[in-house]
Amino acid sequence: MTVTPARAAGAVLLALIALAPLVPMAGMKQYVLHVVIQIFVWSFIGQAWSLMGRFGLVSLGHGAFLGVGAYAVVLLWNFYGLTPWVGGAAAIALSVVVALVVAYPCSRFGIIGHYFALVTLAVGEVVRLLIIAERDWTGGSLGVTLKAASDASLVAMQYADKRVWYYAGLGLWLFGLWVWARLDRSMARAAMEAIGEDETAAACVGVRVTRFKLRITVLSAALTALGGIAYAQYITYVNPETLAGIGVSLRIVFAVVLGGMYSLLGPTVGTALTIALSEWLRIVFGVKFIGMAETIYGLLLVIFIIFLPAGIYGSLAALVRRRRPAPVPATA
């Protein structure tokens, strides 16, 4: 691996991120860590979404996987005292089942584009409404609080110290990047193979593409559920509006598209920007103008989508590429 300026900058940046919790920031520290943890977790979820999104599988129901993951792990702990390590595995398995139940017929019957988006939207709403309907268990629309463990422990996956969550979030984010990059490479290979084959083999390639899509959906759902679990364990409170349904599903998609879903760091850039934006707007407007922050957020989203269709990171990357005199050969 050669050392390029970009790689060196990346390494330095990563080191800075890793060391950030050690920097004294007085009273601001808890807040800053909180914001960054959120960025890590939601970027991870955004990366999980973009695995599908870049393939044209635009899901508007990723809240379903988030909700299934988060609620399963919280309820298993609250009612059965099951450690999140086991409960989490169960939650991920459950979300994979949900993904398969939806994705298999979708790919089997060729449901794509708007229809796929609307089917997934329905799935997200079903999960949200089921959570509300089963209020004896789930607390309905009021949500449910994760029962506190007797002390901070690895078994309960509960820590009051934000630094622990900071590093856990960092790990999760890096894991997401790794998955993204690996898949990107194998995807490139699959595409090359498809082009390499002659026309008579196209049918076989078609079958493989279908299976590949199915696998991607399962992977995306599992990772999204993992993100939901991490979020629930960190916040220790789950609520159907923040973790299921159309609202959160749209937010995930927004962040990714805003950043650019075809690039490695796109989801992160988009998520960081949207979270920073909404935090900033919240500070500026506080409780004085309820709804103002969200209004501006919505307006900016529309403007960004119209004027930066390739996303912020994607547009910038394209700009840099155009400026560069000699085209750098693709790594793939």
Partner 1 sequence: MIDPIFLVEAAVNGIMLGGVLALLALGLNLIFGVLDIVWIAYVDLVMVAMYAVYFLVMVYGWPIWLGGLGGVVVGVALGILVHLLIITPILDSPPVNQLLATGGLLFFLQSIATFLWSTDHKSVRVSLPSIELGGIFVSYPRLIAFVLSILVMVGLYLFLTRTFIGTAIRAVSQDRGAMALMGASPQKIYVVTSAVGGAMAGVAAALLSIQYSVHPYFGAAFGPITFMICVLGGLGNMVGAFIASFVMSEIIAIGGVVWSTEMGYVIAFALFIVMMFARPGGILAKRQ
Binding site for partner 1 (CB under 8 A): 53, 58, 60, 102, 105-106, 108-111, 113-115, 117-119, 121-123, 125-126, 129-130, 132-133, 246-247, 250, 253-254, 257, 261, 289-295, 297-299, 301-302, 305-306, 309
For residue 144, report the phi and psi dihedrals to the nearest 5 degrees: -140, 145
- Least separation in angstroms between residue 114's CB and partner 1 is 6
Q: Quick one: 43 or 233, whose CB is closer to partner 1?
A: 43
- Least separation in angstroms between residue 108's CB and partner 1 is 8
User: How many residues does the structure list for the chain?
Assistant: 332
Q: Quick one: 8 or 202, whose CB is closer to partner 1?
A: 202
Q: Quick one: 218 or 308, whose CB is closer to partner 1?
A: 308
Cα angle 111, 112, 115 (rounded to 5 degrees) comes to: 75
For residue 134, report the phi and psi dihedrals to the nearest 5 degrees: -85, 55
CB 230 within 8 A of CB 41: yes
> Of 43, 60, 64, nearest to 274 (Cα)?
43
Q: Quick one: 99 or 117, whose CB is closer to partner 1?
A: 117
- Least separation in angstroms between residue 239's CB and partner 1 is 14
Q: Quick one: 104 or 159, whose CB is closer to partner 1?
A: 104
- Least separation in angstroms between residue 274's CB and partner 1 is 11
Q: Quick one: 99 or 146, whose CB is closer to partner 1?
A: 99
Q: Which residues contact 54 (CB under 8 A, 6 or more apart)?
A: 261, 262
- Least separation in angstroms between residue 150's CB and partner 1 is 35
Q: Quick one: 197 or 241, whose CB is closer to partner 1?
A: 241
Q: How far apart are CA 135 and CA 229, in angstroms?
A: 20
What percent of the chain is helix, strand and coil (3-state, nearest 5)?
Answer: 75, 0, 20
Neighbouring C-beta atoms of residue 145, cutoff 10 Å? 14
For residue 145, report the phi and psi dihedrals to the nearest 5 degrees: -95, 140
Q: Is 211 exposed, middle or buried (0-12, 13-18, 19+ CB in 10 A)?
A: exposed
Q: Quick one: 171 or 286, whose CB is closer to partner 1?
A: 286
- Least separation in angstroms between residue 289's CB and partner 1 is 6
> Of 20, 286, 67, nearest to 162 (Cα)?
20
- Least separation in angstroms between residue 285's CB and partner 1 is 9
CB 225 within 8 A of CB 243: no
Dihedral of the CA atoms 269, 274, 279, 280 (nearest 10)? 90
- Least separation in angstroms between residue 7's CB and partner 1 is 31
